Structures are given as structure tokens and as C-alpha cells.
Structure 1
Amino acid sequence: MKDKRRILFVNDEMRMGGVARVLNTLMSQLDTEKYEIDCLVLHKRGMLLDEIPDYVHVIEGTPFFNTVDEPLMELIKRLDIGRICSKIRLLFYMKTGLIKKKIGIERNKIIKKPYDVEVAAKEGFCTIFTAFGDSKKKINWVLTDYSVCNYSKRHMKIVKESLEFIDLNIADSKQALEAYEKVFGIKREKGISIHNLMDVDRIKQNAKDSHDINIKSDNLNVIAVARFHPQKSLERLLYAHKYAIEKGYNHSLFLIGGGETEPRLRTIVKENNLTNVLFLGYKLNPYADIAACDLFVLSSLYEGFATIVNESLISGTPVLSTKVSGIQEQLTEVEYGWIVENNQQALNIGYVEAIKNPEKLAKMKENLQAYHYPNEKILQEFMEVL
């Protein structure tokens, strides 16, 4: 019997979010007869640790990496002296270039076998960690639009040096790939785009579950699922909701998620007396709630390939989205939803356009019952490069 290919996926954390969920989906769909799969979580935390497949061996990073996913300013706000010192130490290694040698030292503590393929599951620090390891093939997974937000802008020298050791960059949309190539000067032959895999069967099954939100049958119901983070710009969604209410389009807006911008969002709701906005917190299964609603809204400033858009379509709910990377590769048919320019005014107008015709939304939901996501093709594309 032919030996299995050993694959190591490297991620910084497994908190609720698109990156961790997409990683879990890919690991769950790889053929265990062909691949031996390990997953290194540098800072081992997050709700989605529990969703890593049982046959995946999970490796925990050393304490050196415990602040890799935590911004220094957030630690300062919390007055967490110990972690502030740890973060400053990490940043010192990054700025001086000593991180290259340090990664080798830390890898020797936790990695006990060679790998045929190592995948940095999130571009940035994971890229650096993978680049300065000794796996035979090194892949970097790009999941955001670097033309809009360059997460590596303070560490361009070390990231560019790291990318010299990466064999292939996989971006989740064509626009994200083009942006990454331009920002980092990557040769075209070292990059490809592959859309994110979806756990279609699980989404469809979960969408059939009973929802636990107060859906008003005599009212339109709109939903958003996101990390409450500046990138997702949920403030704009609240103002679009307010604009529609003022135009006479009464409806409910449900927000699933949580995060750093939640206090600001709740303040906007309170100050503007938006009584039909409901915060539902984090949910491992948001799909039943999405399926119960009439419209899903993505109000992001930037994305790479927003998996939640296709998850909404699989759940049978049309989408209104700002014009972000990947969206034109996702909302490819008029019955799937609307794309608006990425500003407040366009979102306001598009929001009203979407909710002013309940009959049209109902027809779109009916048509989406036949929606097909090409998972088989995407999985094959991944297997060809692993």
C-alpha cells in the first residue's frame, strides 16, 4: 500500500470565523486513505477547535506563540502586563529578523516528523512560520483582499523574504490573488485561485433545524452573521436599517456574532431607537436562522471570499452584499441577490431595493432551493496541489 502524504496545516487560532471554518471543512473532506493530516494551532484556543475532525492530530504551539493572534493595543487596553511583554518580545523578533532562527527552535519542540506538504492556513504570521520550516512543499493560503487592507504592512520585509520560500500561494478569489501578487511582487506562476470548500450537506441539514428567533410572519426579516469587527462594518448595516425604517419599510434585523465593535453597535441601536434590531450572540449553527429569514446582508469593507455568502445561498436565502473581493464570483445570477457599491449611500439604496418587494424575495428563496455549489470541482483542485 502506498504511503500516505503527510500534511500539516498551520493556523494561529480557531475562534469563530471564516478562516477556521474553511480550514475545518477542507480537512474534513480530504481522503484519509491518501493523507495523514495534522493541524498545528499556534495559540490553541477557539470554539472551532471542537469541530476539527477526530482523525486530525492537533498540535499545540509553544507559549512563545500565545499572543500571535492578539493585537498589542488590545492587550494594553486590558492592562495585561504579562501578555504585553510576550507580545513585545514577539514583535522584537519580527522586526529584527531573529524570528527566522526562533521559529526553527520552537518548531523543534513541537514538530516530531517530516511533512510532504505544509499549508499556512492564514496568510501573515503563519506564512512566516511555514516558510522557515523544512517541509518539502510549502503553500500559503490567502483569504483577504490586500489591496484594501494589508495586515502585514508593519512587517513587509520579513513577509516578502518568507514568500521567497513559499512554493505556491492559493487565494480564495481571483481579485484577492491579483491584489496579493501586486502588493508582495509575487510571480504569476506562484499563485492560483481556488474558491473555498463548503460543508454543503451539513449546512443543508442544519438549515432544516428549528430556529429559535422570533420571526414575524407579517414582517420582513433580515439577518447578518459576522464577527463584530471593523472589517465587517455592521454600523453601516444598522444605518441602512434605519434608512429603510424611515422610508416606511418596517422589518426586523437579526445580528448573529460578537466581538470588539459590539458596544458601539449597541450604542447606535439605543441612540437611534432601533427597536427591531436583535442581537443573538454567537451560534455554532446559524443556518436555521438564515433559512428562516428573507434576506441576508453582507456589509463588509473588504473580504477575500466571504464563505457566509454561499452558506446563505445554500440555506436558501438571497444576499445583498457590498462590492468586495470575490463577490462577483459568488453572486453570479440575478436571482441570487444584489451587489452594491461599497459605501453607505449605495448600501442604503440597495437595502431598500431588496426589501421593498416581498414577493420578489419569496420567489428568489424558492429558486434557491435548486442552488448548487461546485464542491466536487473545488475539492479536486485542492487535491491536485496538495
Structure 2
Amino acid sequence: MTNKTKILFVNDEMEMGGVARVLNTLMANLDTDKFDISCLVLHKTGMLLSEIPSHVNVIEGTPFFNTIDRPLIDILNRMDIKALFSKLRLLFYMKTGLIKKRILIERKKIINETYDVELAAKEGFCTVFTAYGDSKKKINWVLTDYKQNNYSKNHMSLVIEALQKIDMNIADSEDVLQSFKEVFGITRGITIHNLMDIEKVKQGIQIGYEDAIVQPGLNVIAVARFHPQKSLERLLYAYKNAVDKGIEHNLYLIGGGETEPLLRQIVKDNNLNRVFFLGYKQNPYAYIAKCDLFVLSSLYEGFATIINESLIAGTPVLTTRVGGVSDQIVEDYQGWIVENTLEALKAGYLTALSKPDKLNDMKQTLKSYEYPNDKILKQFEEVFK
């Protein structure tokens, strides 16, 4: 047998979120007869550490990176003096450009071999870390729309310089790729959609859910971090608008996060007594499958895997026009795409719920939905050769 290709994936943390999930799915699907896989987590923390596939060699970053994933404002609010010192030191190295030499020093402490391929799983610092390493092929994975939200805006010169050392940029949608090219002035890039954990979705549907929360009548669901990016308050206003126009239905919110107090206040102030907060669910798919419509109300995305997971679960989707969705949904067949405004979301929401027969027809059609995982996996393997 020929030697395996040695791959190193680099991520800053493994918290519950899109990047960690799609990274774990990719590592789980790569052929272990072809690839020897390692994953460096610069700050080894997060719920999804436990879901890293068992065949992956997990490497922990040095203490220098312990605040890489923590916003400065969060550290200040918590008055964490030790973390504040660590964060300010890290920012000093990045602002002065000394981080390039420091990365070489820290890499020697934790990496004792040369990799055939190194992939920065999250744009920004992971890009810089990968760029200044000695792996033979360096890849940057782009998973968000940088024209809508530039995570690297405070370190643009550093990232732009690092990108000159990157051999390939992979974006999860064509919209995301074009935005990244425009913001950073790069030309090297291709589009490969995210892999889906299809079996996990299907098994989740079979397992069911802990309690019979789904009520009779029309049921709508959203699964998201409660974060300003997801703009769930717009969904609540769309819900209220439909109820005010006589469409009684239930809305279920799965997730949690910083905007939850705001969302609960909107529900309370408007007497939205058929909105249910279900908290985090390890298995949201059974809930999605039992509902008539899934709604994504985000302000921006890269390639929202939850959309395709909903389609796999057999539930049509209403989404705002964010990066990737035009590649994911066949309109009027699998769901609806509306412009990214509150008024458009209200109108689209009303249209969808006014057509329960069409929703049911879509659910029937989605029973034969197939996501092209095999094709996507071959694309990744071609790049990793």
C-alpha cells in the first residue's frame, strides 16, 4: 500500500457551532486507508471535542493560545486578570507582526512532523498559523461571508500577507468565495459544499425526542445559536404578524445564547403564548421532522448546514437570502428564499403558512431528497492529494 497522505486540520476551539460540526463531519468521512488525520485545537475546549472521530490524532495547543477564541470585551466583563494579560500579549504579537516568529516557536513545542496537507479550518488566526508553518500544501477553509462580517478587520494586513503563502482557498459556497476574493484581493479559490452527517440526521429522526412537545396544527421550528447574527427577533415579529392576520400556529426555538433574554422579553411583551423555548438539543432532527416549516432568519451565513439537514429530515425551509442558500434550495419546490429584510421575512412567512397544502406537498417531495455527499467527498480528496 502507498503511504498515506498526512493531513493536519487546525481550529481554534471546538464549541457547539457550524465550523466544529462540519470539521468533524469531514474528518469522519475521509478514507483512513488514504489519509492519516490529525487535528490541532489551539485552545482545547468545547462540547464538540467529544465528537472528534476516534481515529483522529488530537493535538492540544500551548498555553499561549488559551485566549485565541475569547473576545477581549468578554474577558474585560469577567474581570479575568490572567486571561486579560494573555489576550493583550497575543494582540501585541499580532499588531506588531511578531506573531509570525512566535508561531514558529509554538509549533515546535507541539508539532514534531511535517504534514503533506495543512488546512486552516477557521479563517483568521488559523490562516496565519497555517501560513507560517512548514506543511507542504497549505489550505484555507472559508465558511462565512466576509462582506457581511469581517472577523479579520482588526488584522487585515497580517491576514492578507498570510494569504500569499496559502496554496488554495476552499469556500463552502460560490457567494462566500466571491466575497472573500473581493475583501482580501485573492484569486486562488474553489467552491466545495459542506459534507452532511446524513446518518446522524436519519438516526435522530428514528430515535425520536424526549417529550411530545409538537402540538396539533401548524408547527414552525428554528434551530440556532441565540446570537445577533441569527436575528431570531425578526422571526418572532414574523410569527406575530402571521398570528395577527389570523394564522394560529406554534413556533419552537431550539438553542440558546446571548440574545435569549431579548427574545423572551419580545415573547412576553407581545403575549406570544404559543412560542416554545426548548433549549439546546443534542438531537434536534426529530423535532424538525415533526414540523411543517423550518425558518432561518440570519443576517449572514456561509453555507448553513442546518438547511440541508432540515431537507434531509423532510421539512421545507424558509430562509433569508444569505450566502449559499441559492445553492441549497430549489425555490417553490423545497422552500422559499426571501430578501434579507424584516418586511420580506414577514411576507414570506405569511405566504408559506397560508399554503398548508403546499407545505404538505413539499414534505412528500422531500422524502426522495438526496444530498450529494459522495460527490463532495471526492472533491475534497482531490484537493488533498
Letter in structure 2 aligned against 1:73: I
Give 2:30's aligned residue.
30
Moved more, 285-294 or 272-281: 272-281
Letter in structure 1 aligned against 2:74: E
Letter in structure 2 aligned against 1:197: L
1:171 matched to 2:168? The reply is no
Give 1:294's aligned residue.
292
Give 1:129's aligned residue.
129
Letter in structure 2 aligned against 1:296: F
Q: Deviations over 1:269-325 (max 9, x none)?
A: 222222111111112211111111111000000011111000000010000000001
Moved more, 205-214 or 326-335: 205-214
Task: Give, in whole Å, the separation in 1 of the partners of 2:193 and 2:146.
Answer: 17
Give 1:90's aligned residue.
90
- RMSD (CA atoms): 1.1
Moved more, 266-275 or 306-315: 266-275
Quick one: which of 332, 338, 341 aligns to 1:343?
A: 341
Other structure's SS at 1:59 match: strand
Letter in structure 1 aligned against 2:155: H
Q: Deviations over 1:53-75 (max 9, x none)?
A: 10001111111111111111111
Task: Give, in whole Å, the separation in 2 of the partners of 1:79 and 1:104.
Answer: 31
C-alpha displacement at 1:214, in angstroms? 4.1
Task: Give, in whole Å, the separation in 1 of the partners of 2:85 and 2:274.
Answer: 44
Moved more, 217-226 or 307-316: 217-226
Counterparts of 1:293-332 in structure 2, within 5 Å, are: 293-332=291-330
Task: Give, in whole Å, the separation in 2 of the partners of 1:8 and 1:160.
Answer: 22
Task: Give, in whole Å, the separation in 2 of the partners of 1:252 and 1:30.
Answer: 40
Q: Deviations over 1:29-57 (max 9, x none)?
A: 10000110000111111111111110001
Task: Give, in whole Å, the separation in 2 of the partners of 1:213 and 1:347.
Answer: 30
Give TM-score scaled by structure 1 length: 0.97
Quick one: which of 219, 222, 244 aligns to 2:220?
A: 222
C-alpha displacement at 1:208, in angstroms? 2.1
Counterparts of 1:255-294 in structure 2, within 5 Å, are: 255-294=253-292
C-alpha contact 1:215 1:221 (8 A) present in aligned 2: no
Alignment coverage as a number of residue pairs: 384
Other structure's SS at 1:3 match: coil
C-alpha contact 2:209 2:283 (8 A) present in aligned 1: no
Task: Give, in whole Å, the separation in 1 of the partners of 2:84 and 2:279.
Answer: 28
Letter in structure 1 aligned against 2:166: I
Q: Deviations over 1:137-161 (max 9, x none)?
A: 0000000111111111111010001
Task: Give, in whole Å, the separation in 1 of the partners of 2:319 and 2:336.
Answer: 6
Q: Deviations over 1:76-103 (max 9, x none)?
A: 1222222122111111111110110111
Other structure's SS at 1:16 match: coil
1:8 matched to 2:8? The reply is yes
Quick one: which of 238, 241, 248 aligns to 2:239?
A: 241
Letter in structure 1 aligned against 2:201: I
1:192 matched to 2:190? The reply is yes
Other structure's SS at 1:139 match: strand
Give TM-score scaled by structure 2 length: 0.98
Task: Give, in whole Å, the separation in 1 of the partners of 2:146 and 2:152.
Answer: 9
Letter in structure 1 aligned against 2:115: Y
C-alpha contact 1:213 1:289 (8 A) present in aligned 2: no
Give 2:199's aligned residue.
201
For structure 2, the residue ranges without an aligned partner over 5 or more in a row are none
Moved more, 152-161 or 200-209: 200-209
C-alpha displacement at 1:243, in angstroms? 1.2
C-alpha contact 2:222 2:252 (8 A) present in aligned 1: yes
Other structure's SS at 1:138 match: strand
Task: Give, in whole Å, the separation in 1 of the partners of 2:333 and 2:204.
Answer: 23
Letter in structure 2 aligned against 1:35: F
Letter in structure 2 aligned against 1:205: Q
Letter in structure 2 aligned against 1:380: K
Give 1:355's aligned residue.
353
C-alpha displacement at 1:371, in angstroms? 0.3
C-alpha contact 1:222 1:253 (8 A) present in aligned 2: yes
For structure 1, the residue ranges without an aligned partner over 5 or more in a row are none
C-alpha contact 2:214 2:291 (8 A) present in aligned 1: no
Give 2:51's aligned residue.
51
Quick one: which of 210, 215, 218 aligns to 2:208?
A: 210
C-alpha displacement at 1:213, in angstroms? 4.8
1:69 matched to 2:69? The reply is yes
